[in-house]
Structure 1
Amino acid sequence: MIEDEVVRLTSELIRIDSTNTGEPETTVGERAAAEYVARELGDVGYEVEIVESGGRDRLNVVARLAGADRSRGALLVHGHLDVVPADPAEWSVHPFSGAVQDGYVWGRGAVDMKDMVAMTLAVARRFKREGVVPPRDLIFAFVADEEAGGAYGAQWLVDNRPDLFEGATEAIGEVGGFSATLGPDLRAYFIEIAEKGIAWMRLRVRGRAGHGSMIHEDNAVTKVAEAVARLGRHRFPIVLTDSVREVLAGVSQLTGLVFEEDDLEGSVAKLGPLARVVGATLRDTANPTMLKAGYKANVIPSVAEATVDCRILPGRQEAFERELDEILGPDVEREWITHLPPVETTFDGELVDAMRAAILAEDPGATTLPYVLSGGTDAKAFHTLGIRCFGFAPLRLPPDLDFTALFHGVDERVPIDAIQFGVRVLDRFLRNC
């Protein structure tokens, strides 16, 4: 049964340690994960293309299933094979055990995003075994390096092998289609229609080198620390984009909550755990994440650096950079390390109707709503090919599970019945897309 297979696939994928540290020398396991996926597809008869993307063991897997109407645009179903690091000492189960216990599949990647990779594999294998012909071509892509921006994954494929996605007009991937309980017997599935832009920034401050025992008025470490503190405490202005307005309007219509613009954050806070997701899309953010300076305890270095994770709303890039200049001042050099644009579409059309129908067939009392992702996905690369991108990895979640906290978190896990629900929804959706 497909419900049993998706549990097996999720667990086995998690057991492959495909940690992406962001440094090519220490990133591991993407080759093993790609070869596993290729075997699972090849075993049922797919012609699989394995593409090495210029880095050591950075492999991507692509397969296509012909549809009934090949004149229609193809649907791309994409997932990434890499995961962020995990420290086993912090976990109650080993992060690469793939343990199936207490109603969950446990481990790094359980929700980001080996669950969706497993659901996609399970459906793809079933379609091939049973001779299912979908309404349109389906392109299955399993890629490397999403957790570090996609330079060896989706972005490399878009730049170097766009032929693999020939004819694709729409796509689904992470993070969307998950449920949230908004009240008694009130469950909504949130489908992602937009993402903030990602801009990882390096700050650099120069000073005068010297002996650590001396009075020193031009200390680069002090200056970068002060700049980082100013930026970390700063709150960018609330900006209501069209997509966020659509999200709030949908929630308001469903729940009766009123989102007063003069106290928008207070109103959003009433959404409980969902407030973390929605609140992060009300404004730009710039969170310092790394510091680098010095090489000896008694030497004042001439250069100190900081890394900042910036997430920028659509249409806000120029205003955001002006604000950065005001906060940081003229002595702080800025350099963009990674710069990926925002992605935005609308919550309408036949594909959205098919998503809604697939969910409601499995959960008749529910509804679907759009939302905006504060993070980023490989949609940032694929949308540059003119592909309309959505986040749709369906999961029916327990009301008390703080789902968003599991992404990159300790004890990451996914409910077994959630992925079994999800694989049924995905099967139904891809038969009618």
Structure 2
Amino acid sequence: MPDWDQVEAQASELLAAYLRINTTNPPGQEAAAAAFLAGVFAQHGITAQVAGAAPGRANLLAVLPAADVRQPPLLLTHHMDVVTADPAEWSLDPFGGLEKDGHLYGRGALDTKGLGIMHLLGMLLLQASGRPRHRHVLYLAVADEEVNSTHGMVWALDHWRDELAGATAWGEGGMGVRGVLGPAPFFGIATAEKLSLTLRLTARGQSGHGSSPHRQNANEILAQAIVRLAAWQQPLEITPVAAEMMQQAGRVFGGWRGWLLRRPQQRLAAPLYRSLLAGQPMLAAMLHDTVSVTVVRGGEKDNVIPGLADATLDVRLLPGREPDAFIERLKEVIQDPRVEVAVLYAPTPAPVSPTTNPLYTTLSRVIQRHAPGALVGPMQLTGCTDGRWLRRQGLPTYGLAPIIVDEQELAGIHGPDERLSRANLQLGTHIVFETLTALCGNDAAA
């Protein structure tokens, strides 16, 4: 068996080096990160393919082959690019790879360079174990997830089509989070995602001098539309994935909350559900469509009433929702012909990954062994990941970083002081290794 203290030290060293590579997207510049990962694989006799769709943009594919293939390949994937980080908001350099109080600080520690290191070491430990393997293990590190995946997963699925065909994928998604569904950590394995729809509202009014107010101010027209949208209460809808997750949670809750969670289709209890969700914004977002106003523009001079103003809406729809039907309802809520609605980005539906897949069942079993009492269940992500592209290609995809974090640590994703503990690096690598061992061994399920 591996020396897990030594594995923790190695994982910490690798993650620190990985975090020092600035892959802020845009511009990305993931080629340096791909070269770093390829160098680690080369040290262990694995040749990785590195290729990209544009200068400075790169993706990496490494393969740990099986001599006696009996099962479809297992794909371990993460993205190398990260979002911006303002050093003024951080207590440590976001690209310094520095350690404090047993945590490694850096942009991408949780999203998703930490997962990439756990996958990498789990794969290398499997290689070093010398155990017979009955499926290929693939390692895919991609660019551009934080923007639109054009230079990353979309490109990789086309470029490495044959290598990735038929794989079951393990990527980003949930984590073991304390305090979300009770005191025990909840490991949400993402099997589905909401659909991302981006809209632009354009308010058309009449320009004029600021000293002569009138009712055709485009900014005011737009503001009234936004206020109506903010007051729009979306109906609760419990999808099959959310229902299964809530039933799992209900087993550990007592009182009316447990009763309610164990009966997710109890329509008469809608007021109770709203009371339950009031303090759980993440859970609430899983149960209805959401609209967020993200960009507002109107006017250029302080003494000119604008005749044109616009706003961008980040809309997240439940799986199975028809975007056109939602847009028509949105127009009815706005109730103003002076406000036009245009689609900037329309989603393509993706199937839900089944919980009967061997990766899901094995991962659940291994987590329970390492975190007794933890709650493990399927999760419907409120955001979007590269998993949507994989599912659209017919590849069952499961999203989870196998670590335990609290809400304060979770806030570091896209926020200041993003960090990952050394203890979590060991835990995550241990879970990856045992999951790979089970799935690649003689007892692997079909």
Say whether residues 1:386 and 2:388 are aligned partners.
Answer: no
Q: Do the aligned partners of residues 310 and 401 (structure 1) sit closer, same or farther apart at CA in structure 2, a change above 3 Å counting?
A: closer
- Give the 3-state SS of the residue equivalent to 1:200 in structure 2: strand
Name the residue aligned to 2:259: 258
SS of corresponding position for 2:356: coil
The 10-residue stretch of structure 1 (259-268 or 139-148) with the greater mean CA deviation from structure 2: 259-268
Per-residue deviation at 1:336? 2.6
For 1:163, what is the secondary structure of its paired residue? helix
The letter of the residue matching 2:169 is A
Counterpart AA for 1:237: P
Matched with 1:44 is 44
SS of equivalent to 1:63: strand
The secondary structure found in structure 2 opposite 1:176 is strand
Structure 1 CA distance for aligned equivalents of residues 375 and 42 of structure 2: 37
Indicate the percent of aligned positions where both proteins have the same amino acid: 34
Choose the corresponding residue for 2:379, options 368, 371, 383.
371
Does 2:101 match 1:102?
yes
**Alpha-carbon distance between aligned partners in 2 of 1:416 and 1:347, rounded to the nearest angstrom:** 30
Call closer, same or farther: CA 1:254–1:221 in 2, change over 3 Å.
same
**Deviations 1:194-251 (Å, cap 9, x if unpaired)?**
2111112222223334444444443322222222232233221111111111111111
Residues 368-396 of structure 1: CA distance to partner in whole angstroms, max 9, x if unpaired?
22222111110111111100111122003
Which residue is equivalent to 1:138? Answer: 137
Q: Contact 1:192/1:391 (CA < 8 Å) preserved in 2?
A: yes
Aligned to 2:199: 201
Q: Summarize deviations over 1:13-64 as a string: whole Å, max 9, x none.
A: 222221124xxxxx243222222222222332222222212x4422111122
Counterparts of 1:91 and 1:279, CA distance in 2: 29
Residue 334 to residue 424, structure 1, CA distance change in 2 (3 Å): same
- Aligned positions, number: 419
Cα distance in 2 for residues equivalent to 1:110 and 1:304: 39
Q: Could you tell which deviates more after superposition, 346-355 or 191-200?
A: 346-355
Alignment-mate amino acid for residue 206 of structure 1: R
Change (3 A) 1:209 1:179: closer
Corresponding position: 1:412 with 2:410? no
Mapped to 1, the partners of 2:231 and 2:58 lie a distance apart of 40
**Is the partner of 2:415 in helix, strand or coil?**
coil
| 3-state secondary structure, aligned to 2:92 | coil
> Is residue 171 from structure 1 mapped to residue 172 from structure 2 by the alignment?
no
* Residue 24 of structure 1: aligned partner: none
Asked if 2 retains the 8 angstrom alpha-carbon contact of 1:14 and 1:107, the reply is yes
* Superposition CA RMSD, Å: 2.4
Distance across 1 between alignment mates of 2:309 and 2:190: 38
TM-score, with length taken from structure 1 = 0.89
Partner of 2:223: 225
- Offset from partner CA, 1:134-161 (integer Å, 9 cap, x none): 4311121111111113122112333454
Distance in 1, Cα, partners of 2:341 & 2:133? 49
Structure 1, unmatched stretches of 5+, are 22-26
C-alpha distance in 1, partners of 2:177/2:293?
31
**Partners of 1:293 and 1:304 within 8 A in 2:** yes
Which residue among 293, 318, 332 is the counterpart of 2:339?
A: 332
- Measured after TM superposition, the shift of residue 279 of structure 1 is 1.5
Q: Does 1:430 align with 2:426?
A: no
* 1:157 aligned residue: 156
Secondary structure at the counterpart of residue 111 of structure 1: helix
The answer to whether the 8 Å contact 1:40/1:125 transfers is no
CA contact (8 A) 2:175 2:189 kept: yes
Q: 2-side partners of 1:16 and 1:59: how far apart?
A: 14
Instruction: State the TM-score, normalizing by the size of structure 2.
Output: 0.86
Q: Match of 2:31? A: 31
Distance in 1, matches of 2:430 and 2:34, equals 24
